[in-house]
Homo-oligomer: A and B are copies of this chain.
Amino acid sequence: MSERAAIPREGRRRVLVEDVTPRIDGGRYPAKRILGERLDVGCNLVADGHDALAGIFSYRRVGDSAWHSTPLEGGKNDRWTASFVPDTVGSWEFAVEGWVDRYETWRRGVARKIEAGQDVSVEVLTGAQLLVEAATRASGAEADVLAQAATHARDAKKAAADRFAASSSDSIAALMARHPDRADATRSPTFRLTIDPPRARFSAWYEMFPRSAGAPGKHGTLRDVIAKLPYVQSMGFDVLYLPPIHPIGRSFRKGKNNTLTPGPDDVGSPWAIGAAEGGHKAVHPSLGTVADLRMLVTEARTRGIEVALDIAFQASPDHPYVKEHPEWFLKRPDGTIQYAENPPKKYQDVYPFDFECQAWESLWIELASVVTFWCEQGVRIFRVDNPHTKSLRFWEWCIAEVKREHPETIFLAEAFTRPTLMYALAKAGFTQSYTYFTWRHTKGEFTQYLTELSRPPVSDFYRPNFWPNTPDILPEHLQFGGRSMFVQRLILAATLSSNYGIYGPPFELMEHVARPGAEEYIDNEKFQLRTWNIEREDSLSNIITLVNRIRREHAAFHDNRITFHRTDNEQLLCYSKRSADGSSVVLVAVNLDTAHRHAGWIDLDLGALGIDGGESFQVHDLLADARYQWQGTRAYVEIDPGIMPAQIFQVRRRIRTEHEFEYFL
């Protein structure tokens, strides 16, 4: 052991940069933010001693050569912050940098000495030297001003205090801050950001099967879907999601109610993709053409609706890939292709792709080209089927590859699996994610789950999308809970999460009969055509319309920050949301028991509502259009689920104008 431990080259960089936020897994993944939303960055700058520090925050779009930068502002406990508003969607990157500010250290110290009546004639010479050095880093007029200040500071004929004043004025200090000595600055690694369009954060989805959009008994078409757009728009949805629209395989086709004995007219599951007519880049002939899809996308967009397609990366045995690219599938020892299975269950109508095959790279490239193909038809939102059964590294690459040319694209991960895997998919790049909402019922469950989802680190990469139902899931409470339960789950989904969706028309028509033994609809559209009477008098479309309008009009619902307020009744769930600028505040009280009326006291967190302790304020129930006057932290609510299972209050502060006229904001 004769050698010495290596002396680090950066030995003179006294500042450490720690705990940079936002930061996902130490910087391995980008944090997610929204176009036009202020992004706050923080870090600790830690150095020995008591010297003044300074730092900058640098950022740029990935691919740009120049960095923008802005000074870091120091706060409590060595925490420094900065912010910026990203002005384009796509990949951004940032870093922070800190250094010892010798000029400010000097300026502060000498000022204190002068205050204490000490002689500073030597000290001003130190300052003069710092000014001279800064002048060499500056140019033009700025360099001249600094050099001049240095000359003043060295003028032995003047009093030391005057010489200090000339070299430490606010204007000189500002100049010095513009030309810092960064030779021994410490720079953080570069962290990435994904900037998404506003709809990534706030959206209302409506899922429907296009083949059920036609006249009774007929196979619906994409053009029939165009005819349904006014209905979807009138309810206030802004994403229309269609299950796969591709040709459907015939081999091992499933019959009605998931039977293995289809009749000749059975239409099969849209997720068994691929037939003689084409694969993932084709439209089912009965639905129409790629041109029809383009028309649907365009028509929808004029109504403020984006069409979302389904990406299901699997093939029916009849998919052209099976013949053209057998190398992408796992071959069994008997030469047959391995169908999907979850032993002992067999899914012989579906072949999974083999992400571990020798030809994995060509497989990846083809699959990404499927998404870009639909992007080229104008589609910008994709709901991805079972992404958790495909390689995580594939998704990370595929989503980056698609966003390279279409950075505004939104991907919703339909994964119902283990928490680590749900989160891993979000980190890999999915914009939004399905959640466990469907199986959460109690006050404790909602409080715990939403608290986890709404705070960093999870909120930095995972955007929940709450669904009360899907074609695959008719949860038990909807089977037996009746109308109140449908309304309650709608309100919970729509107000707990800024992204939510329903599968209709079964939702608004309160379809609730399950296939025996399954948590799934009987006579499911997945396996057959259905006809829906959306004009039915008891349809929930009116309440859906109202809830979506409340969401749109109150910015507090546009993101996921949430505060829970204690109640003295286990069946009463109470939470509030507040927009970033504080201008919109809402409070929601839900009776979780749809069978009984409940009343109780809420213990309000007034700070979270932006209300001062003594102030009286108005809460305006936007569902019932009723208004109440509250004051203090205790509030009484009584909710009869037979009338309406929740109250959605706008919290209105009393504003007194200069003319003593009062109104509520």
- Which of B78, B341, B400, B421 contacts A418, CB < 8 Å? B78
A88 and B44 CA atoms in complex are apart in Å by 35
Question: Which residues of A in the span 390-410 have a Cβ within 8 Å of any Cβ on B?
Answer: 390-394, 396-397, 400-401, 404-405
Instruction: Please tell me if the beta carbons of A334 and B122 are within 8 angstroms of each other in the complex.
Output: yes
Which chain B residues border A419 with CB–CB below 8 Å?
Answer: 77
Known: A48-B390, A333-B122, A420-B46. A18 touches B25 (CB 8 A): yes
Instruction: Please tell me if the beta carbons of B7 and A364 are within 8 angstroms of each other in the complex.
Output: yes
- Which of B25, B332, B343, B420 contacts A122, CB < 8 Å? B332
Which chain B residues border A19 with CB–CB below 8 Å?
Answer: 25
A126 and B338 CA atoms in complex are apart in Å by 11
Can you list 25 pairs linking A and B with CB atoms under 8 Å apart?
A1-B405, A5-B397, A5-B401, A7-B364, A8-B397, A12-B391, A14-B393, A16-B424, A26-B26, A47-B392, A48-B388, A48-B389, A48-B390, A48-B391, A48-B392, A49-B388, A78-B420, A78-B421, A110-B343, A113-B343, A116-B344, A122-B336, A123-B332, A126-B332, A184-B356
A108 and B26 CA atoms in complex are apart in Å by 36
Question: Which residues of A in the span 362-413 have a Cβ within 8 Å of any Cβ on B?
Answer: 364-365, 387-394, 396-397, 400-401, 404-405
A19 and B457 CA atoms in complex are apart in Å by 13
Instruction: Please tell me if the beta carbons of B46 and A424 are within 8 angstroms of each other in the complex.
Output: yes
* Most chain B beta-carbon neighbours within 10 Å: one of A10, A26, A336, A365: A26
A519 at the binding interface (Cβ < 8 Å): no
A392 and B344 CA atoms in complex are apart in Å by 60
A629 at the binding interface (Cβ < 8 Å): no
Which chain B residues border A171 with CB–CB below 8 Å?
Answer: none
A112 at the binding interface (Cβ < 8 Å): yes
Instruction: Please tell me if the beta carbons of B11 and A389 are within 8 angstroms of each other in the complex.
Output: no
Which chain B residues border A533 with CB–CB below 8 Å?
Answer: none
Question: Which residues of A in the span 17-43 have a Cβ within 8 Å of any Cβ on B?
Answer: 18-19, 25-27
Instruction: Please tell me if the beta carbons of A14 and B332 are within 8 angstroms of each other in the complex.
Output: no
A1 and B63 CA atoms in complex are apart in Å by 11
A50 at the binding interface (Cβ < 8 Å): yes
Known: A126-B333, A392-B16. A421 touches B10 (CB 8 A): no
Known: A7-B365, A125-B332, A125-B333. 13 other contacts (CB 8 A): A4-B401, A5-B404, A11-B397, A14-B355, A46-B392, A46-B420, A46-B424, A47-B392, A49-B388, A78-B418, A78-B421, A109-B343, A118-B344
Which chain B residues border A10 with CB–CB below 8 Å?
Answer: 393
Which chain B residues border A49 with CB–CB below 8 Å?
Answer: 388-389
Instruction: Please tell me if the beta carbons of A112 and B343 are within 8 angstroms of each other in the complex.
Output: yes
**Min CB gap A402→B, angstroms:** 9
A78 and B421 CA atoms in complex are apart in Å by 9
Which chain B residues border A420 with CB–CB below 8 Å?
Answer: 18, 44, 46, 77-78
Interface range, A side: 35 or more
Instruction: Please tell me if the beta carbons of A5 and B400 are within 8 angstroms of each other in the complex.
Output: yes
**Contact mask A530-556 → B, CB, 8 Å, 1/0?**
000000000000000000000000000
Instruction: Please tell me if the beta carbons of A4 and B113 are within 8 angstroms of each other in the complex.
Output: no
CB-nearest residue of chain B relative to A114? B344
**Min CB gap A384→B, angstroms:** 12
Task: List the 10 shortest-distance A-B pairs measured between CB atoms, nearest first.
Answer: A116-B344, A26-B26, A125-B333, A109-B343, A112-B343, A5-B401, A78-B420, A49-B389, A46-B420, A122-B334
A129 at the binding interface (Cβ < 8 Å): yes
A13 at the binding interface (Cβ < 8 Å): yes
Question: Which residues of A in the span 294-321 have a Cβ within 8 Å of any Cβ on B?
Answer: none
**Min CB gap A439→B, angstroms:** 16
**Contact mask A35-70 → B, CB, 8 Å, 1/0?**
000000000101111100000000000000000000
CB-nearest residue of chain B relative to A335? B122
**Min CB gap A43→B, angstroms:** 11
**Min CB gap A547→B, angstroms:** 34
**Min CB gap A344→B, angstroms:** 3
**Min CB gap A55→B, angstroms:** 14
A343 and B49 CA atoms in complex are apart in Å by 13
Which chain B residues border A1 with CB–CB below 8 Å?
Answer: 404-405
Which chain B residues border A48 with CB–CB below 8 Å?
Answer: 355, 387-392, 421
Instruction: Please tell me if the beta carbons of A77 and B11 are within 8 angstroms of each other in the complex.
Output: no
CB-nearest residue of chain B relative to A428? B16
Which chain B residues border A333 with CB–CB below 8 Å?
Answer: 122, 125-126, 129
CB-nearest residue of chain B relative to A393? B11
A14 and B421 CA atoms in complex are apart in Å by 12
Question: Which residues of A in the span 94-149 have a Cβ within 8 Å of any Cβ on B?
Answer: 108-110, 112-113, 115-116, 118, 122-123, 125-126, 129
A342 at the binding interface (Cβ < 8 Å): yes
A360 at the binding interface (Cβ < 8 Å): yes
A615 at the binding interface (Cβ < 8 Å): no
* Most chain B beta-carbon neighbours within 10 Å: one of A48, A360, A418: A48
A612 at the binding interface (Cβ < 8 Å): no
Which chain B residues border A77 with CB–CB below 8 Å?
Answer: 418-420
A110 and B341 CA atoms in complex are apart in Å by 11
Instruction: Please tell me if the beta carbons of B184 and A341 are within 8 angstroms of each other in the complex.
Output: no
**Min CB gap A121→B, angstroms:** 9
Instruction: Please tell me if the beta carbons of A11 and B394 are within 8 angstroms of each other in the complex.
Output: yes
